[in-house]
Structure 1
Amino acid sequence: MPDLNKADEGRRFVKPGPRNLITDIKGLAVGQAEDARVRTGVTVILPEGRVTAGVSVMGGGPGTRETDALDADRLVEEVDAIVLSGGSSYGLDAAGGAANWLGARGRGFQMGASPKVSPVVPAAILFDLANGGDKDWGEEPPYHALGRAACQNAEENAAKGRGQAFALGAAGAGLGALVGTARGGIGSVSAVTPDGLQVGALIAVNAFGSAFIPGTQQFWAAPFELEGEFGGRGWPGDMASLSALHPFAGTKAAGAVPPAPGSNTTIGVIATNARLTQAECKRVALMGQDGMARALRPIHTPVDGDTLFVLATGEHELPAGMRPLALAALGSIAADCVARAIARGVYEAGK
């Protein structure tokens, strides 16, 4: 955790990890699977073992699975994987595919002497049904198979060792994504502090709002960029008052048909090597939502399904005597990571 007695030194405490990806955090693998014909895909975040998790849902039109199980007063505190998927409500099947894959390998919650485990696989979906792909799948949408394939890909990536790379931009759950009037996609970044705290984010960006300052190709998240990770385009020097801008400038509202509830969404995962309780994971998820507000305008609208999960692998102890402040610093870093990951996903998709 950054030295709280030197807070005025700010960002010099934080730098990207070796690959600047969520997989810089030890014990996490990412797997992705796509169906190019349908123009959709699935992204799975797969930990080595069960990890503590929390969630924050702030969009007006969310599509989720097992988020209620992550409340701090519930039986289960740990999860086996997180699934992000395209496909709107059909995409929730991807978590079923992932759960079957995990269960077949004996990975899940064990209740007493039960002969079978119950994999805990929270999930969130985004809307990509109107992106032009072939959605004539009848009674067999592709998401169950894509969920299994993404898990298999994650296992293969994990075998490559710590910090494995994965595709950004138009890949996985972000294959058919749009953000405002631009292409959306998968973005990921990481941040480390001198004492070994690690934070990462992986975001699938399909927002109603825009990631760009109207009339430019410069990102709202520009002040949070590290080491040119989304092009180093900077901030407009002649920026007028933000309050003077039309709230829908550059958004999907510019189209002829108004967007329907649930037809957008920014979903993702924050991960840290800190040891956190489930309630603390929830607090970090809530703080992480501020990163969306730094990178997208507008955000948390009635037609978005914005959802953030938090995973805590538990290898790094926060200082006991200053835990609330340490958690506040962690949440602030997480919010910055979310903003960075959003812009990076859009940048990579537009290359």
Structure 2
Amino acid sequence: MTVQTPVPFAPGPRNLITDVTGLRVGQAQDDAVRTGVTVIAPEGRAVAAVDVRGGGPGTRETDALSADCLVDEIDAIVLSGGSVYGLEAASGVTARLGARGRGFALGSTPLVAPIVPSAILFDLSNGGAKEWGETPPYRRLGIEAMEALDADVRLGNAGAGLGARAGALKGGTGSASVVAPGGFVVGALAASNPFGSCVMPGSGRFWAAPFEKAGEMGDQDSFPGPAHLPDDPYAETKIGASPGMNTTIGVVATDAALTVAETRRLAMMAQDGYARAIRPVHTPFDGDVVFALATGSRPLPEDTARAGLVAMLGALAADTLARAVARGVYEAETLGASPSYRERYTR
């Protein structure tokens, strides 16, 4: 059998975050409510970090990821719709992991403490049936997403991106990957729901178009950008609707064996992927969050080249996250009053 050598800077075999060895993604959604949950889980545990830059974030367990805290590995990351109600999805994931004995050991007790950081986006104004009273669906959806863990990832109207809206267009869940020199793999997944626009005004060209690989955004070379960029940074944004229906949340991952500090740097550098894919970004109306995971299956050298490799992985993480953001919008389908990219530009 011939073993193919990975091509540097090409997408991985799936072009998904699950090209990173040891990662699986599970998604669940409630079509009537127009909301959903996405879980990213390592087969074992993974070093993790987070970077938060939006002005209106909604998170859980992110303080536990600080380098000066006791725990330096996580059991799962949860991305959810539902605004503050969606934080309950992590409770379902935590319960399911704990029942399976996955988590941080708690001394002599038989119990464990699963470490499940999470972030939410706002999708409460998309027309779905939100009259849930005292029983929001998110804990249930978290459990269902855990039961659906797989290497395949449905894109567009799926999981946390089901009810998302990206500027004037339907948003969605996107993912992408890239093979770095040395065989390292970098992957990203994003639920794209920004206040800003992912498309250059006056064209069908994504801001992230220069980073497209293998026609994943519908062959962006066929959509020339405008001759001049608009002075108005609010063009094609949600400004005509409400500045409360926002936030892009995502995860970048690598199979490199990074320290907590290096994983934090990966998350920080990856935030630039949002800036390459969305205009404007990191606004007071968004809660932009990037988690970073390092599964550790591929060691890094303990010499002066190490910092350069970390910098390269961070740069690729930013590019790959930009692709994931745009791909989520490209793969999305019209839902309610939110038209899809393909309906507007490629019909």
Instruction: Return the TM-score normalized by structure 1.
Output: 0.91
Distance in structure 2 (CA, Å) of the matches to 1:235 and 1:109 = 50
Mapping for residues 12-31 of structure 1, pairs under 5 Å = 13-31=8-26
- Counterpart for residue 273 of structure 1: 255
Mapping for residues 75-94 of structure 1, pairs under 5 Å = 75-94=70-89
Instruction: Report SS of the residue matched to 1:56.
Output: strand
- Compute the displacement of 1:235 (Å): 7.6
Instruction: Report SS of the residue matched to 1:313.
Output: strand
Gaps of at least 5 residues in structure 1 are 1-11, 158-163
Distance in structure 2 (CA, Å) of the matches to 1:238 and 1:130 = 31
* 1:112 and 2:94 aligned: no
Using the TM superposition, name which of 323-332 and 84-93 deviates more.
323-332
- Counterpart for residue 188 of structure 1: 175
- Counterpart for residue 307 of structure 1: 289
Distance in structure 1 (CA, Å) of the matches to 2:231 and 2:33 = 36
Distance in structure 2 (CA, Å) of the matches to 1:233 and 1:82 = 31
Q: Partner letter of residue 249 of structure 1?
A: A
Instruction: Report SS of the residue matched to 1:284.
Output: helix
* Deviations, residues 5-28 of structure 1 (Å, cap 9, x unaligned): xxxxxxx83110001000111111
- Counterpart for residue 289 of structure 1: 271
Distance in structure 1 (CA, Å) of the matches to 2:139 and 2:325 = 26
Asked whether the 8 Å contact 1:274–1:312 carries over to 2, the reply is: yes
- Counterpart for residue 211 of structure 1: 198
Q: Partner letter of residue 237 of structure 2?
A: T
Asked whether the 8 Å contact 1:169–1:186 carries over to 2, the reply is: yes
Distance in structure 2 (CA, Å) of the matches to 1:96 and 1:238 = 44
- Counterpart for residue 259 of structure 1: 243
Instruction: Report SS of the residue matched to 1:144.
Output: helix
Q: Sequence identity of aligned pairs in percent?
A: 60
For residues 237 and 21 of structure 1, do their structure 2 counterparts lie closer, same or farther at Cα, with a shift above 3 Å needed?
closer
Asked whether the 8 Å contact 1:94–1:146 carries over to 2, the reply is: yes
- Counterpart for residue 340 of structure 1: 323
Asked whether the 8 Å contact 2:176–2:188 carries over to 1, the reply is: yes
* Deviations, residues 216-255 of structure 1 (Å, cap 9, x unaligned): 111000000011111112386563343x431000000033
- Compute the displacement of 1:193 (Å): 2.5
Quote the RMSD (CA, aligned, Å): 1.3
Distance in structure 2 (CA, Å) of the matches to 1:306 and 1:235 = 30
- Compute the displacement of 1:259 (Å): 1.2
- Counterpart for residue 280 of structure 2: 298
* Deviations, residues 190-228 of structure 1 (Å, cap 9, x unaligned): 001342100000000000000000011110000000111
- Compute the displacement of 1:308 (Å): 0.5
Gaps of at least 5 residues in structure 2 are 1-6, 333-339, 343-347
* 1:122 and 2:126 aligned: no
Q: 2:161 aligns with which of 174, 182, 195?
A: 174
Distance in structure 1 (CA, Å) of the matches to 2:225 and 2:178 = 30
- Counterpart for residue 232 of structure 2: 246
- Counterpart for residue 216 of structure 2: 229
- Compute the displacement of 1:176 (Å): 0.4
- Compute the displacement of 1:318 (Å): 2.1
- Counterpart for residue 142 of structure 1: 137
- Counterpart for residue 7 of structure 1: none
Distance in structure 2 (CA, Å) of the matches to 1:280 and 1:194 = 18
Instruction: Report SS of the residue matched to 2:182.
Output: coil
* Deviations, residues 233-285 of structure 1 (Å, cap 9, x unaligned): 2386563343x431000000033xx413xx31000110100011111111110
Distance in structure 2 (CA, Å) of the matches to 1:317 and 1:104 = 32
- Compute the displacement of 1:32 (Å): 0.4
- Counterpart for residue 161 of structure 1: none
